[in-house]
């Protein structure tokens, strides 16, 4: 299935620190653009590294020990300190199967989000009515009535929207055991109910946020009713897939059909979906599968991680059959480094001098060598740092097109940097940063993306932790 992806148009760029400055993004430049737009440009190159740098919205996640309404800042801070940038957390609705959510509960949800934010973490969120203790102890799990679920979706919409900046991924939840859309005590997974619930969940999601559903058959059925994936994207529908038995058996323990032809068709559809909507989940212990044939080799995870666009995975489950074998096979670091996006700088073309009250052109080259694109808006920022005083001026985009940086692709981005009349003359170092797209987190360095580049002291190239920016080694002289 061929998919045409929407271009996320670049809105006017503005200085983050000084009013009135405009930085214009022209989009990916054509081949040879650097020499055409900057005939006398100085060109520098950067070296990619293979380190598994912790970055927002990607990688192995930790499961919270408590539901979201009880999440404390200490747990978020501890996860961050140990290298995690994602926490999976459930919204426990078990006390309200027969009642509306009280305002006190919604305030606790808001506090849980605030604690995640203070801890530098983003969340994978799933509302649930039950959480069975084991994979064979779920047949009697209770969810809520169809109307009650619709009411709860509507009630949570506001607090989710208020905290969309720290919701990395939103899983559908609500229905059946663990919120995984099977074994519903109220027949919520029936065709009529699930179609209505999917529409309600997608409509209630924060703007631009995808909702991840558990079963490929439900996803493809829904997309077919919308005219296909391309038509759904054009309507603003953002849908993703989470597989909670990834690699565990031929069918991923019921995730896919027993019929080989149907299974392969669904796998191809989910692979295509992974370039437009997020894919993640966890492995599992295939106790419930007949004659399980887990795909636990390094070859399997590297092949299928890239195939489906794996963005995140549970670090704690199921380790004996998967993570431990990847470690023994020598590929665990590759998995850790490859999940999600992996953005490296490859080159920069710039003029060595620029006058105040003029425009300085730059051409930036980047590559995404990860398994997936970015799914959240980011701000590509240029920082000029005065070599004498150390003072900086940062220019960034309210919205860019970083979500079109598909896995395996290289991009050239032509920029026009406004040099204001009040910028002091002198020599400036050029630094680059990818900031969070939300106003609330844009200035928090913990939410900036670390480029996958190696320090090079000889070239003056180095990651700056305090600024969360890449020191390019490029120096420009600003004149009167």
CATH of 59-338, one of 1.20.120, 3.60.15, 2.60.40, 3.20.20: 3.20.20
Alpha-carbon span 324 to 60, nearest angstrom: 14
Q: In Å, how far from its chain's centre is CA 285?
A: 26
Of the chain, the percentage scoring pLDDT greater than 70 comes to: 90
Start-end ranges of CATH 2.60.40.770 in the chain?
13-51+342-479
Alpha-carbon span 226 to 231, nearest angstrom: 7
* 167, β-bridge pairs: 123
pLDDT of 2 above 80: no
pLDDT of 33 above 50: no
pLDDT of 367 above 90: yes
Q: 245-260 pLDDT, tens per residue?
A: 999 999 999 999 999 9
463 contact partners, CB below 8 Å, separation of at least 6: 450, 451, 453, 455, 469, 470, 471
Angle between helices 298-308 and 260-273 (to 10 degrees): 60
Q: Are strands 462-464 and 426-436 parallel, antiparallel or unpaired?
A: unpaired
Q: pLDDT band at 1, cuts 50/70/90? A: very low
Q: Cα–Cα distances in Å, from 66 out to 63, 75, 91, 102, 168?
A: 9, 9, 9, 19, 18
Average pLDDT over residues 390-405: 81
Q: pLDDT at position 292, please?
A: 84
Q: pLDDT band at 8, cuts 50/70/90? A: very low
Q: 133-186 pLDDT, tens per residue?
A: 876 678 899 999 999 999 999 999 999 999 999 999 999 999 999 999 999 999
Q: pLDDT at position 323, please?
A: 99
- 13-51+342-479 is a CATH 2.60.40.770 domain: yes
């Amino acid at each position: 299935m061929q998919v045409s992806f929407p271009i996320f148009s670049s809105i006017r760029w503005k200085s983050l620190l000084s009013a009135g400055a405009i930085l214009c993004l022209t989009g990916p430049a054509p081949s040879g653009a650097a020499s055409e737009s900057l005939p006398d440009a100085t060109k520098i190159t950067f070296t990619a590294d293979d380190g598994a740098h912790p970055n927002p919205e990607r990688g192995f996640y930790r499961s919270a020990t408590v539901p979201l309404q009880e999440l404390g800042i200490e747990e978020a801070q501890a996860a961050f300190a140990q290298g995690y940038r994602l926490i999976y957390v459930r919204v426990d609705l078990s006390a309200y199967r027969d009642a509306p959510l009280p305002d006190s509960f919604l305030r606790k949800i808001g506090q849980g989000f605030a604690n995640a934010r203070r801890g530098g973490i983003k969340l994978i969120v799933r509302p649930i009515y039950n959480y069975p203790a084991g994979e064979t102890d779920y047949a009697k799990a209770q969810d809520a009535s169809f109307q009650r679920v619709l009411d709860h979706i509507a009630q949570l919409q506001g607090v989710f929207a208020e905290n969309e900046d720290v919701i990395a991924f939103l899983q559908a939840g609500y229905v059946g055991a663990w919120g995984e859309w099977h074994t519903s005590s109220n027949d919520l997974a029936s065709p009529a109910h699930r179609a209505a619930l999917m529409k309600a969940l997608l409509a209630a999601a924060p703007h631009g946020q995808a909702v991840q559903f558990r079963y490929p058959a439900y996803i493809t059925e829904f997309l077919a009713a919308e005219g296909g994936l391309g038509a759904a994207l054009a309507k603003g529908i953002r849908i993703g897939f989470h597989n909670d038995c990834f690699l565990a058996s031929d069918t991923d323990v019921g995730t896919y059909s027993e019929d080989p032809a149907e299974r392969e068709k669904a796998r191809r559809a989910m692979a295509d979906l992974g370039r437009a909507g997020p894919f993640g989940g966890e492995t599992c212990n295939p106790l419930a599968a007949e004659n399980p044939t887990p795909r636990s080799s390094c070859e399997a995870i590297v092949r299928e991680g890239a195939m489906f666009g794996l963005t995140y995975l549970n670090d704690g489950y199921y380790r004996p059959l998967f993570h431990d074998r990847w470690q023994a096979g020598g590929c665990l670091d590759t998995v850790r480094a490859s999940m999600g996006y992996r953005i490296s700088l490859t080159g920069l073309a710039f003029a060595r001098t620029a006058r105040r009250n003029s425009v300085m052109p730059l051409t930036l080259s980047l590559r995404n060598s990860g398994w997936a694109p970015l799914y959240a808006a980011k701000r590509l920022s240029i920082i000029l740092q005065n070599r004498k005083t150390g003072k900086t001026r940062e220019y960034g985009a309210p919205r860019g097109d970083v979500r079109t940086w598909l896995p395996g692709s290289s991009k050239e981005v032509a920029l026009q940097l406004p040099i204001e009349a009040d910028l002091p003359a002198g020599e400036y170092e050029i630094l680059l940063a990818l900031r969070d797209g939300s106003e609330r987190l844009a200035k928090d360095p913990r939410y900036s993306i670390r480029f996958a580049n190696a320090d090079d002291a000889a070239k003056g190239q180095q990651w700056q932790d305090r600024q969360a920016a890449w020191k390019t080694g490029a120096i420009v002289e600003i004149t009167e």
